[in-house]
Amino acid sequence: MRDHAAKWPPAPDWSTAKLDRGSISVRTIEGLSQLLVSGDLDAWATASGTASASVAGAVIASGNKYSARIARDRVLAVSATPFALATGWHDAGFAISRIDAGMHVFQVEGPGLNELLARAMTQPLVSSGPSASLLFAGINVVLYHFTSMQSVRIHVDRALAPYLWEWLEQSV
């Protein structure tokens, strides 16, 4: 039988995989609680205690709990500790789906960040509007600044994480 395994490098051990190339570093952030929330986003912010201003483009995320904007009526809620709200429909006007294991999170930081973003995206992140959902290196990710303009978090479908890692290895 043909051995296709040799065509692709094995996915790295995410807990130790790290890129460090002077002006930029990349690592995986494990264990974040992630929810897809759809519906009345103000009601969600009140119920969950997250900031009502959602994160995207020029808006920098910070703290242990925030919502990254995906669409007019949808956010990706991210927290270092599990959210207290149950999944499913909430009568306040929003629905919650848990997506903890569905998305892999990379944190990319360093003075070389803007150069890397310019290689992966058509427009500067600050002018990408109110949605953090965009094309990065040809695939759909949720991407926003985290704590500073020299750092971003990238949420990507878990199945595409090895591809993105390989792209980063070659581009950083």
Partner 1 sequence: MQLFPCPFCGLREESEFHYGAEAGNVRPDAGFVSADQWSDYLHMRDNPKGATREIWVHLTCGEFFMMERDTVTHRVMGSTLLEDATHSA
Residues in touch with partner 1 (CB under 8 A)? 70-72, 74, 121-123, 127-131, 133-135, 140
In whole angstroms, how close is the CB of 23 to partner 1 at the nearest point?
A: 25
Smaller CB separation from partner 1, 25 or 38: 38
In whole angstroms, how close is the CB of 133 to partner 1 at the nearest point?
A: 4
Smaller CB separation from partner 1, 135 or 159: 135
Burial code of 64-89, b = ≥16 C-beta within 10 A, e = fewer?
ebbbbbbeeebbbbbbeeebebeeee
In whole angstroms, how close is the CB of 134 to partner 1 at the nearest point?
A: 5
Smaller CB separation from partner 1, 15 or 127: 127
51-55: which pairs have CB atoms within 8 A and are 24 or more residues apart?
A: 54/130, 55/132, 55/144, 55/145
102's CB contacts (< 8 A; 6+ apart) are: 34, 157, 158
Smaller CB separation from partner 1, 64 or 140: 140
